[in-house]
Structure 1
Amino acid sequence: MDLAASPLPDAGVVPQASRLVSMILDDQVLQDRAAILGAVGHHPFARHALGPALPATGYRREGAVLWLVPTRHGPTGCAIGPAGPALDICVALRDSGTLRPGHRLHLPRHDRALLTGRLAVAEHHDWDFHWTDAPPPAQPDEQPVVRLTDADTPALEALVDEAFPSTTSRPGDPRVVDWYGIRAGGRLVACGADRSQSELGFIAGLTVAPDLRGRGLGASLAAGMTRALLARHDTVALGVYTHNVGAARLYRRLGFTNILPLSTIRLA
């Protein structure tokens, strides 16, 4: 799954804290990344979403923590904890003018009906954030995974265009640290993007040639990339839409058994 947002006008971080504290009773304003990470126990999702150099401000309410970053870095906001209090914070931020139409947020999993009369949304979809800190088991007939180079760009572009044209992880994307792939008979038949940031590894855009699906290439690619990223990071994560049952089953088999259920919304 890809988690990127379309660029939007920068929301800044937030209005003055005193204004929001008066609007969100019992909230605690968290002034920076370190405070936010401390409030969520350095949860892997927060470690991934909060890049080390991003300005960020967070809010804590009844067990929920929601943080905002400038929109040019991805979704405007993310949250961990009970969905109800997280949505209460969203409503207050919307009422203050901090959250505006078009802004996207990754929030604790909730039913869309919970938004009725509170937040108008143009998009709402559910997905799971998976992570592991252990190498995956060897896969049957596992194929070697290699790090791709600039010379592979034409083949990489052709494979992505053919097999996964809707992905937001594409060659030339500045968020991609490296590309990995599998070759067969001199042909690039599978690829995946290393979208790691901070101390957490993150896999995105896993793609297999349509005529070779069902032969274990996806498992080989995910396993090989997980091992490669664990050599540089203490944890590796990825995202899966809830309707992609087969992929979720595969990732659990590879050890991605830690799961955070999320819903992404885009404000109307």
Structure 2
Amino acid sequence: MKHVLDRPVWSALETRHRAFAQGGDLARRYSPSIALFAATAADDPASLRALGELVGPDESIIMAQADTITLPPGLAAISTADAVQMIAEAPSPAVPDERIQPLTPEDAAEMLALASLTKPGPFTLGALSLGAFWGVKVEGRLVAMAGERMKQPGYTELSGVCAHPEFRGTGLGRLLSVFVANQIFARGEIPYLHAFATNAGAIRLYESIGFSLRTPINVAVVQRAA
């Protein structure tokens, strides 16, 4: 039996993130200004054709799912990667820290700059539309953040965890990861996350705060074939 997180993009776009979706019952994508993720309901020809119709000539989409990624005619993967999906079963002990503050749309440009520098994963100026973010600022400058991205019934993704290179090794990534995960637990939901399989340091961090592997995830950046 398929798990709701096996196709996390699809399950988010047909449920809690339906308001951000473009497409229909066979294939959906996030509005490009918010996120680049897209997915099909299944890998049948009709669903794949529907996905192809959602991708413009100069656009890229990102697919992420436990199943092997199948592309419709006319689309090609420009890069692929192996990732892991991890899930937490219980909250981790949190240390109160008055430096943690909610981020707002006024912080969006600085959030994008930090994400562009540290590359925690796909990030846009519209990220705050999908879920709450929190950060730590030093002398008014955002130096670390973490937040929420995809949401399915009973689940919320922990995402965007990053710290400025000047502040790596100071524990801010761990601090914010625990904080956000516990915020998700406090709502009666289960936090999960994605990490590239090659990012051993991040995986060790997440394991140390109670996350464990749920399934490998296939990732592909896709655009219309030349």
- Superposition TM-score, scaled by structure 2 size: 0.68
Q: Structure 2: how far apart are the matches of 1:108 and 1:196?
A: 15
Correspondence for 2:40 = 77
Task: Structure 2: state its 5+ residue gaps.
Answer: 32-36
What SS is found at the alignment partner of 2:91?
A: coil
1:210 is aligned to 165
The AA in structure 2 aligned to 1:159 is L
1:95 deviates by 11
- Number of equivalenced pairs: 201
The structure showing larger relative contact order (alpha-carbon pairs under 8 Å, at least 6 residues apart) is: 2
Give the direction of change, closer, same or farther, for the CA distance of 1:216–1:142 in structure 2 (3 Å limit): farther
Residue aligning to 1:182: 136
Aligned CA distance change for structure 1 residues 222 and 262 (closer, same or farther; 3 Å) = same
The aligned amino acid for 2:4 is H
Select the structure that is richer in strand.
2
2:156 is aligned with 1:195? no
TM superposition shift of 1:195: 1.4
Could you say if the C-alpha distance between residues 191 and 105 of structure 1 is closer, same or farther in structure 2, counting changes exceeding 3 Å?
closer
User: In the alignment, is residue 50 of structure 1 matched against residue 11 of structure 2?
Assistant: yes
Find the aligned partners of 1:152 and 1:174 in 2 and give their Cα distance.
10
2:208 equivalent in structure 1: 253
Q: 1:238 aligns with which of 190, 193, 206?
A: 193
Stretches of structure 1 that go unaligned for 5 or more consecutive residues are 1-38, 58-67, 80-89
Match of 2:34?
A: none
Structure 1 SS opposite 2:92: coil
| Alignment-derived partner of residue 159 in structure 1 | 114
Residue aligned with 1:70, SS: strand
Query: SS of 1:236's equivalent?
Result: strand
* Aligned residue runs from structure 1 range 1-268, under 5 A: 39-40=1-2, 42-46=3-7, 49-51=10-12, 52=15, 53=18, 68-72=26-30, 74-77=37-40, 90=43, 93=45, 97=49, 100=52, 105-108=63-66, 121-138=77-94, 144-153=99-108, 155-161=110-116, 163-164=117-118, 167-173=121-127, 175-199=129-153, 200-265=155-220, 266=222
Q: Max radius of gyration: which structure? A: 1
SS in 1 for 2:122: coil
Task: Specify whether residues 105 and 214 from structure 1 end up closer, same or farther in structure 2 by C-alpha distance, changes over 3 A only.
Answer: same
Matching residue's letter, 2:39: T
Q: 1:44-95: CA deviations, max 9, x gaps? A: 44566413146775xxxxxxxxxx522346322377xxxxxxxxxx4x5289
Change (3 A) 1:243 1:189: same
**Aligned-residue identity in percent:** 23
Tell me by how many angstroms 1:261 deviates: 0.3
1:77 touches 1:104 (CA, 8 Å); kept in 2? no
Instruction: Specify the SS of the correspondent of 1:50.
Output: helix
